[in-house]
């Protein structure tokens, strides 16, 4: 089949493209000016990818559905409309003129034949049935899968856990000490340039893998020999991981970030959500302790934000767009990546000595002491951590099944070595007040 030329851009789209080109050029000039000896952003957190969702669509199936019903120009116009709407709204909220119901076959015959793979899903017409296939199983779970709608034009949804897929591809062992799950790399993987480059390269590779898998499955299921397939990211999680740090050192972000709501949890992860319940917001942010010594600031982009920043096919351009995405999301909260630095905590040396005597990592003990840990629960992935804390007398069984609480020993450590901060402005020790910490010299304040 001959390739189809992209449609001409509207005047508004021309302006947007021109604006993006100017914005990117100015950004790169600023980067060159301020960072002569190092690439932008990478000297700070470890940047990678975590969970990502894609929408998959084929021009060829759409053309087959419309065959002999409209002229080629009208069919192409409708294809362009579907692609644009997939980028802006995702499969579940398509708002374009799709084929009429009588023209869209529901392939019940195929569904019955492969019923062992059945899966409920939401496609462009609402709740429906699909066929669910795992593309990669790792550590006892499917970390990469595709679900294909039985209704023409057979749109598909794809999920991948990039953290685990990266470990699978590189034969990296499961990390230990995770506070909730194993969706992370061990703190020893600290080559930030390599990690960022590897994940960007893996993202491009995965998009090609999805195309191949979709083509193969569509041919096996429905007999279509596809050429044109679009793989559109609909949700992307971008972890910014500060290695050797604790969430309490970044808790000042709750004061500085401009948002409607801040929601804090008092478990080991000490998760802080910014605008958690604002459903219409397509860019989200949360801060939490992934493991001892790994403070993760996680940015999530949805729909047109995801498709805009992650649409590139060139590696270096994609890396630039990811950096721009990070800058733009943080700018929404009136933050800057270059200004996000840990607040110095006192008593580090004492905590290190206590941790050494208990055969614990200093970062783990810091989390228990400095964060307001309440009731604790443990998943199958961190039972080893539960055992270590029990043996050292830091936690004990609570009143509910599967729930643990801090012991008197941990309460004593918290009272003795609680939060003490050094003033960023004058270097004097800040004093604890009812609503936070205040410097007695320059009156600088920090609230927690």
- Reported as a single tens digit per residue, the pLDDT across 271-290 is 999 988 776 788 899 999 99
- Residue 269 confidence class, pLDDT cut points 50, 70, 90: confident
The most confident of the ranges 325-334, 344-353, 360-369, 434-443 is: 325-334
Please give the Cα distance from 298 to 253 (Å, whole number).
Answer: 13
Residue 241's nearest CA partner among 285, 198, 202, 289 is 289
Please give the Cα distance from 315 to 335 (Å, whole number).
Answer: 27
CB proximity list for 98: less than 8 A, separation 6 or greater:
78, 82, 104, 124, 153
The whole-chain average pLDDT of the chain stands at 80
CA distances from 285 to 67, 257, 331, 358 (A): 45, 10, 12, 35
- pLDDT confidence of residue 388: 87
- Are 421 and 343 spatial neighbours (Cβ–Cβ below 8 Å)? yes
Please give the Cα distance from 28 to 35 (Å, whole number).
Answer: 10
Quickly list DSSP for 1-32.
-PPPPPPPPPHHHHHHHHHHHHHHHHHHHHHH
CA distances from 412 to 354, 401, 409, 419 (A): 13, 25, 5, 13
Please give the Cα distance from 381 to 374 (Å, whole number).
Answer: 20
Average pLDDT over residues 193-213: 97
- Residue 333 confidence class, pLDDT cut points 50, 70, 90: very high
Q: Scanning the structure block, which residue is given the tokens 């009588």?
A: 102
Distance of CA 263 to the CA centre of its chain: 18
Does the structure show a pLDDT above 60 at 3? Answer: no
Residue 52's nearest CA partner among 375, 302, 408, 336 is 302
Please give the Cα distance from 289 to 176 (Å, whole number).
Answer: 14
Helix or strand run (H / E) with residue 203:
helix 192-222
Please give the share of the chain, as a percent, with pLDDT higher than 90: 33
Please give the Cα distance from 417 to 421 (Å, whole number).
Answer: 11
- Are 16 and 194 spatial neighbours (Cβ–Cβ below 8 Å)? no
- Residue 49 confidence class, pLDDT cut points 50, 70, 90: very high
Does the structure show a pLDDT above 60 at 303? Answer: yes
- pLDDT confidence of residue 383: 83
* Structural domain spans, the chain: 19-245+293-339, 418-448
Higher pLDDT among residues 298 and 187, named by residue: 298
CATH code: domain 418-448 is 2.20.70
- pLDDT confidence of residue 103: 57
- pLDDT confidence of residue 429: 63
Does the structure show a pLDDT above 70 at 346? Answer: no
Residue 49's nearest CA partner among 247, 231, 300, 321 is 300
- Give me 13's structure tokens: 């789209």
Higher pLDDT among residues 26 and 72, named by residue: 72
- Residue 443 confidence class, pLDDT cut points 50, 70, 90: confident
- Are 90 and 97 spatial neighbours (Cβ–Cβ below 8 Å)? no
- Give me 95's structure tokens: 């708002």
Higher pLDDT among residues 10 and 366, named by residue: 366
Please give the Cα distance from 251 to 447 (Å, whole number).
Answer: 9
- Give me 77's structure tokens: 């116009």
167-175 long-range contacts (CB < 8 A, ≥24 apart) are 167/138, 168/136, 168/138, 168/143, 169/202, 174/139, 175/291
Distance of CA 314 to the CA centre of its chain: 21
Does the structure show a pLDDT above 50 at 39? Answer: no
Average pLDDT over residues 12-19: 54
CB proximity list for 364: less than 8 A, separation 6 or greater:
177, 292, 293, 355
342-345 long-range contacts (CB < 8 A, ≥24 apart) are 342/242, 342/245, 342/249, 342/250, 343/249, 343/250, 343/251, 343/252, 343/421, 343/422, 343/424, 343/446, 344/249, 344/421, 344/422, 345/246, 345/248, 345/249, 345/370, 345/419, 345/420, 345/421
Stated pTM of the model: 0.71
């Amino acid at each position: 089949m001959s390739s189809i030329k992209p449609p001409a851009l509207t005047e508004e789209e021309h302006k947007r493209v021109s604006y993006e080109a100017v914005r990117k050029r100015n950004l790169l000039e600023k980067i060159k000016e301020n960072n002569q000896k190092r690439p932008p952003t990478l000297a700070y957190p470890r940047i990678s990818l975590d969970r990502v969702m894609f929408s998959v669509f084929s021009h060829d199936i759409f053309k087959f559905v419309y065959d002999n019903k409209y002229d080629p120009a009208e069919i192409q116009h409708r294809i362009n409309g579907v692609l644009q709407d997939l980028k802006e709204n995702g499969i579940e909220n398509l708002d374009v003129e799709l084929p009429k119901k009588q023209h869209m076959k529901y392939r019940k015959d195929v569904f019955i034949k492969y019923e062992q793979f059945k899966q409920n899903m939401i496609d462009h017409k609402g709740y429906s049935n699909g066929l669910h296939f795992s593309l990669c199983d790792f550590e006892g779970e499917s970390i990469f899968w595709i679900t294909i709608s039985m209704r023409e034009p057979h749109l598909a949804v794809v999920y991948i856990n990039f953290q685990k897929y990266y470990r699978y591809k590189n034969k990296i062992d499961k990390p230990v000490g995770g506070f909730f799950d194993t969706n992370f790399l061990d703190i020893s993987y600290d080559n930030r340039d390599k990690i960022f480059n590897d994940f960007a390269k893996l993202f491009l590779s995965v998009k090609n893998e999805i195309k191949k898998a979709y083509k193969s499955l569509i041919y096996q299921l429905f007999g279509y020999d596809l050429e044109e397939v679009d793989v559109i990211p609909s949700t992307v999680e971008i972890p910014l991981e500060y290695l050797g740090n604790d969430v309490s050192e970044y808790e000042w972000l709750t004061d500085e970030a401009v948002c409607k709501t801040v929601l804090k949890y008092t478990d080991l992860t000490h998760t802080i959500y910014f605008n958690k319940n604002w459903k219409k917001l397509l860019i989200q942010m949360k801060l939490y302790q992934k493991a001892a010594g790994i403070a993760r600031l996680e940015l999530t982009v949805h729909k047109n934000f995801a498709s805009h920043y992650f649409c590139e096919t060139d590696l270096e351009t994609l890396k630039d767009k990811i950096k721009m995405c990070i800058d733009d999301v943080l700018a929404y909260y009136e933050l800057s990546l270059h200004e996000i630095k840990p607040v110095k905590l006192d008593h580090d040396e004492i905590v290190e000595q206590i941790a050494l005597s208990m055969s614990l990592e200093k970062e783990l003990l810091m989390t228990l002491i400095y964060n307001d840990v309440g009731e604790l629960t443990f998943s199958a992935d961190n039972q080893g951590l539960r055992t270590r804390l029990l043996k050292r007398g830091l936690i004990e069984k609570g009143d509910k099944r599967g729930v643990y609480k801090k012991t008197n020993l941990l309460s004593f450590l918290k009272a003795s070595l609680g939060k003490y901060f050094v003033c960023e402005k004058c270097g004097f020790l800040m004093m604890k007040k009812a609503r936070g910490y205040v410097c007695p010299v320059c009156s600088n304040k920090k609230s927690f």
